[in-house]
């Protein structure tokens, strides 16, 4: 991938961005790799040399890498940080690096750091849940130790004190620890096998256009259509609803109007996957919208 420097930032940052931080150790697959959609993985591999990203857009991924280095230094009794574990499943070696493991008398509590936005934090994040549960499977399989819980420590990059003061469902601090559901180990093993199969099949798919599995709505980070109640002369919405009828009712009461904010697949439209220009699924959805 070519890294550009359109805003003339110090070359040291470009050098940092150009370094490969991602490693799966001596394994066939990493946890991050198998939870990622096969379509994205395959398109990235195919177009790696053509892909281009400006260093100014890589700030959060750079800080994500930096956080792992810093996290390693945060040593504390009873905690293991940044440990990579390996285990065999279905004939392949799977590995994952776990940010924090806290030892308790009943077993290990797993925590992963995530840089995220306040909006993303309020959505269901199945990928986070799946990732943490695969880590739990790794701990139970590789260390033969029970896991008592999985959680994420979210670092909210766009946190606003003002929003926190006025919105009850807004995160109340820029760092939030969130407990995720802990799956039964058999369910996790089945999920891992399904993901491995999806990636294996996509590797042997001969026809790009027809055989590559589509990204799901979850994987495309689909944001639902919203209905904002507004009034002439007021810049911000009085309230935003997921339900159209509720918005219409309030608009009538407030003598205002409803503005429809159409839903969109954030990962595709924002090109967070980095491959939207080569993706037939996304290009087809653009064509459909235009028609």
115 versus 208: smaller Cβ distance to ligand SF4: 208
31 versus 265: smaller Cβ distance to ligand SF4: 265
31 versus 275: smaller Cβ distance to ligand SF4: 275
User: CA 233 to CA 248: how far, in whole Å?
Assistant: 19
34 versus 268: smaller Cβ distance to ligand SF4: 268
35 versus 150: smaller Cβ distance to ligand SF4: 35
Residue 275 makes contact with ligand SF4 by CB under 6 A: yes
241 versus 282: smaller Cβ distance to ligand SF4: 282
Provide the token pair at 4: 């550009």
Number of residues that bind ligand SF4 (CB under 6 A): 15
Closest CA to 76 of 103, 98, 53, 41: 103
User: CA 29 to CA 59: how far, in whole Å?
Assistant: 26
User: CA 85 to CA 25: how far, in whole Å?
Assistant: 9
- Residue written as token pair 């130790």: 145
Among 81, 116, 132, 276, binds ligand SF4 (CB under 6 A): 276
- Angle 100-186-220 (CA atoms, 0-180°, nearest 5)? 65
Provide the token pair at 153: 């420590």
User: CA 231 to CA 102: how far, in whole Å?
Assistant: 51
HEC string for 186-219:
HHHHHHHHHHHHHHHHHHHCCCHHHHCCCCCCCC
* Least separation in angstroms between CB 216 and ligand SF4: 9
Residue 282 makes contact with ligand SF4 by CB under 6 A: yes
**Could you say which DSSP state residue 28 is in?**
S
Residues 29-48 that bind ligand SF4 (CB under 6 A): 37, 39-40, 43
Binding mask 42-81 for ligand SF4 (x = CB under 6 A): -x--------------------------------------
Q: Which stretch binds ligand SF4 (CB under 6 A): 9-17, 86-94, 119-127, 271-279?
A: 271-279
Residues 207-246 that bind ligand SF4 (CB under 6 A): 215, 220
Residue 281 makes contact with ligand SF4 by CB under 6 A: yes
User: CA 60 to CA 227: how far, in whole Å?
Assistant: 30
41 versus 131: smaller Cβ distance to ligand SF4: 41
User: CA 218 to CA 193: how far, in whole Å?
Assistant: 19
User: CA 38 to CA 203: how far, in whole Å?
Assistant: 8
What residues make contact with ligand SF4 under the rule CB under 6 A? Answer: 37, 39-40, 43, 215, 220, 265, 267-268, 273, 275-276, 279, 281-282
């Amino acid at each position: 991938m070519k890294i550009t420097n359109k805003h003339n930032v110090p070359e040291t940052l470009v050098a940092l961005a150009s370094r490969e931080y991602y490693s799966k150790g001596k394994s066939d697959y990493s946890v991050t790799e198998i939870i990622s959609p096969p379509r994205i993985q395959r398109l990235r591999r195919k177009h790696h040399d053509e892909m281009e990203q400006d260093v100014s857009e890589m700030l959060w991924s750079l800080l994500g890498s930096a956080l792992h280095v810093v996290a390693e230094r945060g040593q504390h009794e009873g905690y293991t940080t940044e440990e990579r574990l390996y285990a065999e499943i279905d004939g392949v070696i799977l590995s994952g690096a776990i940010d924090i493991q806290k030892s308790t008398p009943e077993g290990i509590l797993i925590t992963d750091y995530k840089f995220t936005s306040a909006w993303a934090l309020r959505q269901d994040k199945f990928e986070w849940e799946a990732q943490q549960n695969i880590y739990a499977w790794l701990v139970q399989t590789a260390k033969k130790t029970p896991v008592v819980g999985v959680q994420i420590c979210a670092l909210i990059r766009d946190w606003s004190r003002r929003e926190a003061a006025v919105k009850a469902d807004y995160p109340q601090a820029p760092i939030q620890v969130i407990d995720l559901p802990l799956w039964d180990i058999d369910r996790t093993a089945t999920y891992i096998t399904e993901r491995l199969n999806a990636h294996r099949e996509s590797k042997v798919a001969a026809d790009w256009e027809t055989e590559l599995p589509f990204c799901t709505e979850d994987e495309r980070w689909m944001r639902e259509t919203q209905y904002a109640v507004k009034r002439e002369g007021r810049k911000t919405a009085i309230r935003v609803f997921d339900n159209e009828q509720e918005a219409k009712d309030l608009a009538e009461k407030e003598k205002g109007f409803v503005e429809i904010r159409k839903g969109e697949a954030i990962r595709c439209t924002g090109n967070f996957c980095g491959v939207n220009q080569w993706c037939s699924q996304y290009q087809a959805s653009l064509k459909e919208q235009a028609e």
